[in-house]
Structure 1
Amino acid sequence: MMMTGSLKGDQRTKCLIPEWKYPNCASQANEILSHIPTPEDWVLYREAYRRSVMDTAPEHFSLEPSTWANGSATGFQVPIRVQYSPDDGRGIYAITDIPNNTLVWDNRFTARIRNECEARQFVLQELTAHQACNVILWGYAFDHGTGQLEWGIDLDPGTFLNKAPSSAEINVEDRLVDRSLALEPGGHSMWSTRDIRAGEELLSAYQDVHSCNPFKNLWWEVKLVWKSWGISAVMF
């Protein structure tokens, strides 16, 4: 089993927060799942992430501080809106027509949590309970081109890109970031797979980015989602 990110031996004792305290997210699910973050909210999430890992992983911050702190700046390269519906939750919708093979989004604002210790620091020390519940739901295990699983959280509206109900409904797909985008090697981006009409929801295949193999998950994350939300992280 690949359990990258778990702590062993003296690593656990060096954590500033030695144990998880699981928030009760299910009790406030309606409020959390219907809230659409404002630009100010994104700044709070990003600054919390920066405080939690900046000293140990400054290489994760390839953007200028002024860009990182601009809540209106996102990884989207096309006009979109975030929309909520009781049936489908939060989703991303095209504002204008998007031609086939267009760069739609890149992961310049994706947080990279390398291990369980950093995750506890970010979730439990830097975030409110409401913010923590969102981050726990948004997170996913992925390989950032290092050969090791990390916990990724998209700290921009890209986190609301939903999974297509069927392969026939997929209209964006993940591709490794091209070096010309000046982002970190091993990053990822979303490209349109056909012409998309204004008003359509953008839908992807989660397995393009997420690790959907139950033997290649961060097991502390699986437990974190289960304990906080009462659902399995593997199902995403």
Structure 2
Amino acid sequence: MVAQGFTVDLNKPLVFQVGHLGEDYEEWVHQPIVCKESPRFFENDLLEFLTLNTWWVIPLVWLPVVCWFVKSSVNMGISSNQLAATIAAGIFIWTLLEYTLHRFLFHIKTKTYWGNTIHYLLHGCHHKHPMDGYRLVFPPAATAILLVPFWNLIKLLTPTLYAPALLGGGLLGYVMYDCTHYYLHHGKPLQGVSSKMKRYHMNHHFRIQDKGFGITSTFWDRVFGTLPPKSGKKLR
């Protein structure tokens, strides 16, 4: 595709090309290429390897961490009812964070070289290649880095007894989100809630990219008025 006199060569590593699209990046990145092949991101093999991740790594890495945080609160004497409520609160807070990040960060509009490049790495690549199964879930190393400031904030704002369970609940919500997101792209639900959610999310990718930011539910889209309109061409 040609944009502002620049041609993106899909046969070459993409990351350091997309910044040159300038103001045309927004249009380019929302014209999806539907194939299961993973595009090359970097010339360097190590950098390229670090961008690849399979979905099952997420529960494998993070569910034991969730259990450790929950057990920490149990060891401090939290009751069963308090524990259940705190974990549920953590999951609920995650759903709001999921929506907020997707709407305001992942869909931020950029036009500078580095703005386009960073956005492509963060989320643009997913919209350009929505069926790339190796870049759909978040790399654990990046999640671990982001977890540190969240943990410090929770410890600052939450009583010691509840803080580990609250983070454990939020982290469990994240695991549910990433696994759900992968399933919505690569699973084949025939009916029921999962089928409706898949149709809802595919609508976000292929019809109205500035609506439908919820992944695990439509709750916050309803609250903040970002539900996609029901009219228009239905997606299969």
Which TM-score tier does this pair reach, normalised by the shorter chain?
Answer: under 0.3
In proportion to residue count, which structure has more strand? 1
Q: TM-score, normalised by structure 2?
A: 0.23
Q: TM-score, normalised by structure 1?
A: 0.23
In proportion to residue count, which structure has more helix? 2
Greater Rg, structure 1 or structure 2?
2
